[in-house]
Amino acid sequence: MASLKGKLETEIEIKANPQKFYEIFKKQAHQVPNATDHIQAVEVHEGDWETHGSVKLWNYTVEGNAEVFKEKVEFDDASKTVTLVGVEGDVMKCYKIFKPIFKVTPKGGGGLATLSIEYEKLRADVPAPNKYFTMMLNIAKDVDAHLVKA
């Protein structure tokens, strides 16, 4: 029997300052819609923009479909890692666990962004979340380009 748990992961080089890239996902998520067409809006649902454990609601478009994702943010300043722990929304109809993770490592003049999604499917016939992973990769590239222009 195939495992319902999985992880998608890739690394991309970023030209932006790694600290700024980390902080946009950690505490300036409201700026993400300005950087990419994939995200229409981000709102704080509980807590605030900067506190570990705050809950945010993301409105986004994936493969032409408007969807919603509610997450509880976790971050680790030492490793520059932001984890969006899925609590509600469209993805939770297919996945019991859904955690997009952004991790940044300084490298040369810019950095290396490690993007991953840890997930557990609700059923064996649910596909791996490749469409969300592609969107995540595109968002990271858009945010990098946005920060370089700023």
Query: What are the DSSP E strand ranges found in 39-80?
Result: 39-46, 55-62, 65-76
Q: Kindly give the confidence (pLDDT) of every residue in the chain, 150 residues in length, as a single tens digit, with 9 standing for 90 and above.
A: 568 999 999 999 999 999 999 999 999 999 999 999 999 999 999 999 999 999 999 999 999 999 999 999 999 999 999 999 999 999 999 999 999 999 999 998 899 999 999 999 999 999 999 999 999 999 999 999 999 997
Residue of 90, 116, 121 whose CA lies nearest to 102: 116
Q: Read off the pTM.
A: 0.95
Give the β-pairing of 5-14 and 39-46.
unpaired
Residue of 128, 70, 136 whose CA lies nearest to 101: 136
pLDDT of res. 128 = 96
pLDDT of res. 2 = 67
What are the residue boundaries of the structural domains of the chain, listed by start? 5-149
pLDDT of res. 3 = 86
pLDDT of res. 1 = 57
pLDDT of res. 100 = 98
Q: Which residue has the tokens 């969807």?
A: 67
pLDDT of res. 109 = 85
The hierarchical CATH code for the domain 5-149 is 3.30.530.20
